[in-house]
Amino acid sequence: MIVYDAASRLFTLHTQNTTYQMKADEYGVLLHTYYGPRLSGGDLSYLIRGADRGFSPNPNETGHCRTYSLDTLPQEYSTCGVGDFRLPSLEPELTDGSHACDLRYTGFERWNGKYALEGLPAFFGGAQWQTLVIFLEDAAAHLRVELYYGVLEEHDLITRAVRILNRGKSSVRLRQAASVCLDFQRGDLEMMTFNGRHAMERCPSRAPLRPGVQGVGSIRGASSHQHNPFVILCEPACGEDYGLCWGAMLLYSGNFQAQAERSQFEDSRLVMGINPYHFCYTLSPGESFITPEAALICSPCGFGQMSRQYHRAIRTHLLRDPMAGTQKPVLVNNWEATYFDFDSEALVRLAQAAAPLGIGLFVMDDGWFGRRDSDSSSLGDWQVNSEKLPGGLEALVSRIKALGMKFGIWVEPEMVNEDSALYQAHPDWALKIPGRPCARGRSQLVLDFSRQDVREHIYGALHAILASADITYVKWDMNRSLSDVWSAALPPERQGEVYHRYVLGVYELLERFRRDFPHVLIEGCSGGGGRFDAGMLYYTPQIWCSDNTDAIDRLRIQYGTSFCYPPCTMGAHVSAVPNDQNGRVTPLETRGIAAMSGAFGYEMDLSQTTPQDRAVIQKQTADYRAYYSLIHQGDYYRLSDPFRDPLTAWAHVSQDKREALVSAVYGTVHAAPPFTALKLKGLDPAQHYQINGAGSWPGDALMQAGYPLPLPWGDYQAFQLHLCAIEE
């Protein structure tokens, strides 16, 4: 709900549990007054006080008043060069060489429904949303800034985006254009980020804000394995089920930056958006720039409530899943079974072994095109290798479908090998700087997706592939970071636009494939989790969570990912042991339970399994189908912390609280272990439940006293509890 008080120029945004407020003051400065637990009303600007602060300058129109300074006021969208020395949100470079910006309020609009962003991902919806647009102006620079707010009351979600319009007669170069600025009149906050590396992504890291600036970001051309475009600010006492926290998520798949500053006067500011590294975007007169969307959730009840609100909003207002409303089939991918060494007969043998086990989708990974026998050739040559696949895709797909399975395919459209017909014909289509030797990653270069001609060629080649056979799934991979970033299609003064234009090009191509092949599910991938962000989820409703398929490592990866992203978006598969990434041996039952907390599948040669293992796999696929709606649509509860606790446990609970699936995995065990009672969450305290079809357990007792766990025998043991409410 958006409330406007004309007399005080006060804007109040109410959600189910929170209130967000800002005010245009007597000088037209848009002040941020409050974001926290829901309030009944009132003007919170009384919390903002002025004082004579040395070396904090005062705007010209205040005369000789020394108690009003932009350097000390909480602002809704911070600027630079006119007296605020904290983190800026916007930095323009004007034709006179100045970098100053002074934004003042000029008006607003509001309407029912949700705004959209041209060429960019954004949450969507109808009557559940309201939109507010606040107009700010820098009169000297002739810049108009439009602050967009989307309010989804049910899920406590407030989205932010910014449109910057050049209304002058000269060009303006944007050096920084953030999506969101949040000011807090307190300095005692802590910041949680989600960091890692390839094959170990999104591990939580939490620390108090220290004086000065701290943050995370990416300059790799993608959101990256190393840092995720989602951060949390919280009170020091905040935990999973208590305390006040604020989440900020950027819907962007390229270079990003999230910075928090604790200032000299013990207040805090969070600024998040496109990373200003190598960013310089020219706006000619009349042109505008739109920033990526940011999504904010404030939770007065800890991290768990925040996560569940993000999960619900993402599932219902961000994912555009062609298989929504149906059960996605369990898949098997041939990569870890064959790598590049396969032909049609080998693939059919793998599918024949998988089909009787309840697996309904066969995915052919890398190696099916060009002369692709290693990772050093043929990327860009998207024609079927007829020696490996006689008769082409149509013949292979027909044989797979005859087994009762659907067919999927792997592609890596954004990359090119120098040993390819495409590169030999168009070497200028790769990102590389003239006069410099280029760096390679996985023996490949990056195609310049900022170019329309490059995108048209790739689209045409892949369109022909997808149209040639009944393909229902595409794994869209990206196996290197961007370096040597320079486009042969842009002049020197516009090279600072390449990173952003590249991301827009990826989005445009994905949108075209979604439009022309609406039945095809596209799964995102970037060496696993290197581009696991909300921007990609708008186009690819599930993402391969990590190249690391070890069950124990995955517990940590999926735990960190769950703080923002719902389980249904996480590609999670069972692989063979010893694990290819770390050599660990874990029971097949444990691997299945760990992978069942996402979009479930297998990465192994099922033809080499024992009869005992095949029986386990049949049970796993049957269980997954039985629990599908719980896992994909239920509320998710973290019951322990795998970075700290000897047991990792989590629960999926139906929204009516009548059914739950609890999963738990032990780590290494020792002699004479203690007895453990696991406290559950999310149940109806007044309801009684059967567990695995037996007994009668009060919901309040299960949550307050716990459920007694069996003693483990051997490392990495796992179990599941299925709870069903007992009918009265």
CB atoms within 10 A of CB 242: 14
Catalytic pick among 267, 321, 547, 550: 547
Report DSSP state, residue 246: E
605-637 residues labelled b (16+ CB within 10 A) or e (exposed): bbeebeeeeeebbeebbebbeebbebbbbbbbb
- Residue 138 annotated among the catalytic residues of the structure: no
Exposed/middle/buried for residue 71 (C-beta within 10 Å: 0-12, 13-18, 19+): middle
How many residues can be counted in the chain?
728
SS3 196: strand
Tokens for 517, please give them. 């092949």
d(CA 433, CA 498): 12
Q: Is 51 left (phi over 0), alpha (psi -120 to 50) or beta?
A: beta
Tokens for 115, please give them. 């705004």
* Cα angle 316-318-324, degrees, rounded to a multiple of 5: 55
d(CA 454, CA 28): 46
129, 113 in Cβ contact below 8 A? yes
Cβ partners under 8 Å of residue 687, min gap 6: 657, 658, 698, 699, 725, 726
Across the strands, what pairs with 617?
none
Q: Which residue has the tokens 């961000």?
A: 318
Q: Is 685 left (phi over 0), alpha (psi -120 to 50) or beta?
A: alpha
- Residue 547 annotated among the catalytic residues of the structure: yes
d(CA 411, CA 278): 29
Report DSSP state, residue 169: S
Q: Of 650, 652, 587, 605, nearest to 624 (Cα)?
A: 652
SS3 313: helix
> Per DSSP, which regions of 370-512 are E strands?
406-411, 415-416, 445-446, 473-476
Catalytic pick among 477, 550, 623, 635: 477
What kind and span of H or E run contains 505?
Answer: helix 498-516
SS3 542: strand
Tokens for 648, please give them. 């990792």
What kind and span of H or E run contains 619?
Answer: helix 611-626
Query: Edge to edge, what strands does the sheet with 18-24 contain?
Result: 2-5, 10-14, 18-24, 30-37
Rg of the chain on CA atoms, in Å:
27
Whether omega before 567 lies within 30 degrees of 0, making that bond cis, reads no
Report DSSP state, residue 481: -
Cβ partners under 8 Å of residue 529, min gap 6: 201, 202, 225, 543, 544, 545, 546, 547, 557, 561
Tokens for 718, please give them. 């796992």
Q: Of 728, 727, 719, nearest to 661 (Cα)?
A: 719
d(CA 34, CA 19): 7
Give the residue numbers annotated as catalytic, written as ranges. Answer: 477, 547
